[in-house]
Chain A
């Protein structure tokens, strides 16, 4: 437990640093003894998982923190064996069904059934239900989500589901309607700064508020990233200086350079270079949506105000196609080419206007 992220993670609802109102609401929810299925969503690094674990602790006590990893093998109807790792305590089970790829439906059905079919022995002292925590629900296939619908209702008596996802847009309606949706927004810059300062204080370090602010901005208010950045800064140089360089993740730098390359020249050759860079990003396990988003953000900051709506429109259009299709590189490149065309035309028009 030596990374600050892990070391100073709050473990109970009462100790949460921000969104305290929501924390008390959750506490009230649990205290009345029962709760519906939950759908916790919010951007990455906002503290969804932390909140869920705090909730479970509130529910079951410290026993939930005794975790173990279990390797489970599930045989699909097609006789294919699916191996999946689950993290479990005596009271709950955590699965990331998207690990199973296309077979996630089988995983969901089997796991939830096995959990739900066994009753708690001492229902007097304990809750009478277990909790199944499904992470990355937005990456579930539609099949699996539909499989979830019925299961959620059928085993309501013995198990509760907590679904964790970054956005609800990929969760089908029926599931959303069966769950109590809890949105965990990103902490504000001030929240991040205060957390950073508090952590540094506990570590016996002195963090200049300016640096804290810079870190929180650079991390896009992603608290996990902010803490890691802070620690990396600490490793890089202590005592902190105000204008210290804050380390960044490589892929963001690379993506920014890619965007610059697109803006600086528009030609098929450049497109070919950009393609190589996009491939590079994709092969480093960066999801195409995030590449698209990063690209658009960078490009928008680079182009003229008149173009922004059109670029955003194009981005939305190709992002949608990206979601529908399977070969991300086509759609990313299509967006790039489109942007190049629009941008080039705009620049040439501008030049013409200047000439006359």
Chain B
């Protein structure tokens, strides 16, 4: 545990540095003064002046070596390691110093001067934060012999032994190979014989040189400020690595390796970095202290920081900054995780989203685990991969940093996979809700909740499957890359590759590809591969390589169609071509045709055109263009019909001409107001609901009528008139008081309604009033808006009708039953009317009464009041004959009425009679 505690201290210091990351960025140019400050801020320990020297005089490593001569063998090793890791950072002084990788030198160096700090030795390799990126294996100082490779054991004065890997050392020598003999000569105190070192060096030298030089050239390409120091290096290495460079894509070779090399918008970069830093509390267990204070300072420092990075108007971001700031300053949740567990980057292809995610994750000290569309993303596999990436940690080898999961191209993932991701996000911890960042053991217990950042990347933010994720994610949409920055980068690349291209040319290349970095670089490489050493604007205009199938949004397409392109201002000093759509008719034609055919959704497009073209501001007094447009629409409709029914897809090539026609007919210089086409969809859904109402009405119409009417005749002829017919004038009186003629009328009405399966249903309006509505709701099918309303029945009338209908229904049901089984009817009726369950009891009792009265002789009763002897002989069972004679006898006894009375204490059913529905109605 004490290891961890110690760690925390160190990391706290580092956290401060992280927090100051932007300040540091701002002062990057004053690198010379900065390093010293950096060191003093570093982990509070004694740093030898070597470091200063290292930073101050990056090109003269000899001096360093000579100063070190007092050290022991260990010391030599660690310093040389320092050299390893320093080497790249010399190459690019612009690297933000806050990144752990950049700080590694001081890490490794720290224990060295304090040679007795053995616990420090042991600790370093286990630090989760130690980022070993610069070398294939980063374990320099081990407590146990390494599994593979050669090593040297070193024992200190206290007797504790550590092991040093040899492999690293040789790598070092490669970099500053020129000075090696010198340093060795001057030191003379080698733990390893120099012959051994030399031998190893000779073995690996060849590949290492190639790799190293490549890296250096890349660094050179990206660093803007200080090209000069590296130029020599690069030139030195150039001839050696020609084989390696032909085989690789420039996009990969020149892709940014460090935060500062990113071409994408600074604000976006910073936001993502900040979000990732929010995880530090839970992932690395650091407190975030300096955060609130920094938020004010930051914008101030930022402004003068990067005049050279194309950030012309920093004020623009201020509100955005505040907003996102707010978002990012939100409280951590109970597990000390940020509010948004997922960052969702979105933007068109080629802006560097994936690169940004990788670079930032590395920068923040994570090990990147990527899932993209090429992986199997079925639900189970996805679940497994998420769990693996977020809950496990590699214990062997180099990647002992915490993982950061990057899910690339998530918009193509199936909805099931996204649901799994959401479930992972929302997983609740089963254990106690206390903050889990205290100890490592506690962390391990809580495997179930998500404790690692996830970055998702998509092109289309509005894919339906992403909808649930959108609400839970920290959304970052990528703005366009700034052409100036991109041009600059392109210029560097072409310069380095020996291509001649002026800024104007590169600008037009950017324009052509819509500032798509990938496409630009690919095009350059293509031209280079073709042997063009000189690229001018004309070549760029002529080639069709940079053109990609742009998938613009529908609204964009509609806008392009309905809007005449504005001729762009010519930029001063740059032979700038006009925008593709702005030229003459032919050019516009091609432009729209290209847009429409790459869009693909012809159906939707033409629907949008149809819905919007009439609201365009076009002077068309004779309606000629409207007629033309509609002719085209009906033509494309026919075309569609043929395509779909005859599967004749070769005709599809004629579909994109419709938008072109519309463009020429209706394009206007004003910005069109375009609404999304809903009309067709609305119409079809309403049609469907009306059809459903009709078919539900038809479904229960009796067959003899059903055969005479169809849905069509119902809508065209019958329904309107039928609705009139069932609204007769009724006197608002009790139906009992109707005259015979009115009764007849009522009967017919009810007949009709039943025959046509119409009924009234009581409904409650939102205002709390009760109304009767016609069911099924066919009224909407035949009533049109804007027509004089038809006569409606009053509430009372409807009530009366509906009551009468109920009665009629019951009557009919009874009749139907009687028809079906006339034999049993009598008995059945009895049972039905008096209620199913108690009948037997009641009848028995009644029979008892009857018997008592008729037979006069009271039968003997037992204790419970049951007849003892003669009763069983009586035909008690429920056969018809038995019942009948009982009834007969009963009739005699009580007179010719079928009303009986019996006093029944505490019961209300004392008076009882058989009632039939037909008597009630």
Contacts and interface: CB of A to CB of B under 8 A. Distances in A.
B615 interface: yes
Contacts of B712: 44, 136, 285, 287
Interface string B331-370: 0000000000000000000000000000000000000000
Interface string A291-333: 0000000000000000000000000001001001111011101
B716 A251 contact: yes
A327 B782 CA distance: 22
B707 A87 contact: yes
A331 B634 contact: yes
B708 interface: yes
A294 to B, nearest CB: 10
Interface in B861-896: none
Given A253-B787, A268-B614, A272-B614, A67 B707 contact: yes
A247 B721 contact: yes
A344 B630 contact: no
B623 A344 contact: yes
Contacts of B618: 268
A321 B638 contact: yes
Contacts of A94: 707
B602 to A, nearest CB: 13
B627 A341 contact: yes
Contacts of A5: 708
B785 interface: yes
A244 B583 CA distance: 68
B687 A282 contact: yes
Contact of B641 (A67, A249, A250, A324): A324
B562 to A, nearest CB: 14
B440 interface: no
B379 interface: no
Given A284-B782, A331-B637, A345-B622, A2 B751 contact: yes
A3 interface: yes
B575 interface: no
Nearest to B753: A2
Contact of A334 (B634, B721, B752): B634
Q: Do most interface residues of chain B lie in helix, strand or loop, or is the interface mixed?
A: helix
Contact of B721 (A96, A228, A344): A228
A251 B712 CA distance: 13
Contacts of B756: 3
Contact of B703 (A45, A87, A235): A87
B691 A228 contact: no
Interface stretch (B39-47, B723-731, B852-860): B723-731
Nearest to A338: B627
B230 to A, nearest CB: 65
Contact of A232 (B615, B710, B725, B786): B725
B722 interface: yes
The residue among B618, B694, B706 with the most chain A CB atoms within 10 A of its own CB is: B706
B720 A250 contact: yes
A237 B920 CA distance: 33
Nearest to B780: A284
A338 B320 CA distance: 52
Given A271-B626, A337-B627, A235 B705 contact: no
Nearest to A231: B725
B33 to A, nearest CB: 70
B707 A49 contact: yes
A85 B634 CA distance: 35
B637 A330 contact: yes
A1 B705 CA distance: 8
Contacts of A96: 710
A189 interface: no
Interface string B677-720: 00110010011001100100001000111111011110111101
A222 interface: yes
Interface in A250-265: 250-251, 253-254, 257
Interface string B639-671: 011000000000000000000000000000000
Nearest to B707: A87
B755 interface: yes
A225 B781 contact: no
B755 A247 contact: no
A231 B752 CA distance: 12
Contacts of A344: 621-623
Nearest to B750: A2
Contacts of A318: 634
Interface in A1-32: 1-3, 5-6, 9
Given A3-B755, A44-B717, A330 B710 contact: no
Contact of B704 (A45, A67, A268, A283): A67
Contacts of B718: 224, 228
A17 to B, nearest CB: 16
B630 A136 contact: no
The residue among B638, B727, B785 with the most chain A CB atoms within 10 A of its own CB is: B638
Nearest to B720: A249
Interface of B: 610, 614-615, 618, 620-624, 626-627, 630-631, 633-634, 637-638, 640-641, 679-680, 683, 686-687, 690-691, 694, 699, 703-708, 710-713, 715-718, 720-722, 724-725, 727-729, 748-749, 751-752, 755-756, 781-787
24 contacts: A1-B705, A6-B708, A6-B755, A44-B713, A44-B716, A44-B717, A45-B713, A68-B703, A87-B703, A87-B706, A224-B713, A250-B784, A251-B720, A251-B782, A254-B786, A268-B614, A283-B690, A285-B694, A287-B712, A321-B638, A329-B683, A334-B630, A337-B630, A341-B626
Given A44-B717, A253-B787, 15 more contacts: A1-B705, A2-B749, A9-B708, A45-B717, A67-B704, A87-B703, A224-B718, A229-B721, A231-B725, A250-B720, A253-B784, A268-B618, A280-B784, A327-B637, A341-B627
Leading 8 A-B pairs by shortest Cβ distance: A2-B751, A334-B630, A67-B703, A228-B721, A325-B637, A232-B724, A283-B686, A249-B720
